[in-house]
Amino acid sequence: MGATKSEIFTPAQNHMARMTKALAHPARIAIIQYLFARRSCVCGDIVDVVGLAQPTISQHLKELKSAGLIKGSVEGTSVCYCIDQKNWSVMKDLLSPFLNLDAAILNDCC
């Protein structure tokens, strides 16, 4: 036990959970917001702004990257991280219809 039973869910459900999981930490929310704000894409700047230790940020960046939400490229001695526009869009198209499910039409039985 202890590991998620992915086999019993649909690919879409697993994909959605994978995306929400990537966003399920305030540091990763902060990183994404910073990248959208476009002040900088440099890894070191992210470390300074977010306020966690460098290895911790590196770990969070790795998770965002493996989820496909960001991509990185080496720029001299530093590394530049950017939103992966295509995958971000895919995620949006997956999550938006879910969030927009209209709860108002439900006959509230609770």
Partner DNA sequence: GGCTTATATTGTAATATTACGATTATTGAA
Partner DNA sequence: TTCAATAATCGTAATATTACAATATAAGCC
Enumerate binding residues for its own copies (CB under 8 A): 4-6, 8-10, 13-14, 16-17, 20-21, 23-30, 32-33, 36, 38, 41, 50-52, 71-73, 80-83, 85, 88-89, 91-92, 95-96, 98-101, 103-104, 106-110
Contact indicator for 28, 64 with CB cutoff of 8 Å: yes
CB closer to DNA out of 62 and 89: 62
Contact indicator for 12, 94 with CB cutoff of 8 Å: yes
21, 25, 27, 31: CA torsion to nearest 10: 30
What is the smallest separation between the CB atom of 34 and DNA, expressed in angstroms?
Answer: 13
